Structure 1
Amino acid sequence: MLDLTQVLTYSAALGIAAAIPGPGMAALVARSVSGGALTGFCLLFGLILGDLTYLSFAVFGLAMIAEHFNELFQLVRWGAALYLFYLAWQFWFADHQAIEVGKPVKRKELLSAAVSGLTITLGNPKTIAFYLALLPLVINLETVSLATWGLMLVPLTVLVLLSVGALFVFGAVRIRHLLSSLRAQQRLFRGAAAIMVAAGAAMLVR
């Protein structure tokens, strides 16, 4: 099991990494403004699921797999970058509508938000770098058992990401009235698009 120092170090590192502006949080703010808190939390669910995927890969030996299947990971890297470019295109040319507070959200929109959160995280170079480069420096992964992963790392990751993400969601919802105009929404979404382009370019450069 992890000791208190490892728990605090991992929580702090993950919290800081999550709070640093990136494609995930940019999309979270944009979707929370346009769709409300429920849409934002569905996207956050997808983001967290993506983080748990990389956490699991790191704990169960993704680095070792990468050494033997480098061509496959190169393909994944290019696919992730292209997907981020596609999302950036969607955000840039999004068809905005006047915000209606209290308007019921369709189930299809909630599912779309969750899937977007998952795919954004899987293609986010910041997330990949954290779990494959920084995490081994914080925790000795060779000593992490299945019980430690399931009973400590997974709940801790969910708690930290949910706490940080909730701040972004509620903050975005509180300023919805300031972004009710179509022009303000366009600027917000295009700013998110620019961040996604930068993240996609970082994937290709690395």
Structure 2
Amino acid sequence: MTITPLELLFYAGGLFILFLTPGPVWVALLARAMSGGFRSAWPLAFGVVVGDVIWPLVAILGVTWIVDQASWFMDALKWVAVAMFIAMGILLIKNADQELSENSSLTRPGMWAGFIAGLVVILGNPKAVLFYMGVLPGFFDLTKVTYLDIAAICTLSFIIPLFGNLMLAASVDRVRGLLKTPGTVRNMNIIAGWLLVGVGIIIGLS
């Protein structure tokens, strides 16, 4: 492996902060958890895992190919990662009072329906690969990664969100009350926003 345990730890921290940022997966997970509890929500979390492996893999292979054609592209992507994290953080802080919306089409009962809903949510967003193309170069030198490095990156890319999603689903009763409290949602968004800004600054300084 060419990447260090410290780099992997930093990436895991970035993934966890991103998990704390409410988005489409949160909406889908909470919609099912609130309607059918943990039993209804966990299949969705495993559906999301598919995209959490595919998108980073596509991003790594795509970036590696592009860098082979233009060596300066890796340095450019590092600053794209910095800009993305900082912009996401600022937007999250700016819209801290925005409430999560629900989608009734995500609450169909059944294990298979839950899995498909998770798959649709994560694969139905092609912007995810562009996101990873911007983020991954901020953590790793993708021109030097080996198969073991790619396996480690993809493993972290699904283990951290999966763990978080399952914990969120398991805590559905408490989460249901929390997410109905605007003040709690606002505080969570502000904290996550500043953490994202911090990650962007650290990447820029490293």
Q: Same fold (TM over 0.5)?
A: yes
Other-structure match for 1:133: 134
What CA RMSD, in Å, does the superposition of the two structures yield over aligned residues?
3.2
The residue identity in structure 1 corresponding to 2:171 is: G
Aligned residues: 144
Large movers: runs of 4+ above 6 Å: none
Deviation, structure 1 residue 25 = 0.9
TM-score by length of 1: 0.59
Structure 2 partner of 1:158 = 158
Structure 2 runs not aligned, ≥5 long: 67-101, 181-206
Unpaired segments ≥5 residues, structure 1: 66-89, 97-104, 179-183, 185-206
Correspondence for 1:122: 123
Any conservation in 2 of the 1:45–1:117 contact (CA below 8 Å)? yes
In structure 1, C-alpha distance between the alignment counterparts of 2:4 and 2:10, rounded to whole Å: 10
Listed one character per residue, the Cα deviations across residues 160-179 of structure 1 (whole Å, up to 9, x for unaligned) are 11221122212224456x6x
Shift of 1:133: 0.8
Quote the offset at 1:36 in angstroms. Answer: 1.8
2:54 maps to 1:53: yes
What TM-score does the superposition give when structure 2 sets the normalisation length?
0.59
1:71-111 deviation line (CA, Å, top 9, x unaligned):
xxxxxxxxxxxxxxxxxxx925x699xxxxxxxx96xx211
1:27-55 Cα shifts (integer Å, max 9, x gaps):
10110111221221110111121111101
Q: Distance in 2 between matches of 1:19 and 1:140?
A: 26
For residues 124-152 of structure 1, what are the alpha-carbon distances to aligned partners after superposition, in whole Å with 9 as ceiling and x for unaligned? 477344312111111111222122222x2
Correspondence for 2:86? none
Contact 1:28 1:40 in 2 (8 A): yes
Question: Is 1:7 aligned with 2:8?
Answer: yes
Tell me the residue number matched to 1:112.
113
Aligned-residue offset at 1:17: 1.1
Q: Distance in 2 between matches of 1:175 and 1:136?
A: 34
Q: 1:59 to 1:175 in 2, by over 3 A?
A: closer
Equivalent residue, structure 1, for 2:144: 143
Distance 1:161 1:45 in 2: 10
Which whole-Å CA distance do the structure 1 matches of 2:106 and 2:113 have between them?
Answer: 16
- Residues 51-200 of structure 1: matches in 2 within 5 Å? 51-61=52-62, 64=65, 91=103, 109-124=110-125, 127-150=128-151, 152-174=152-174
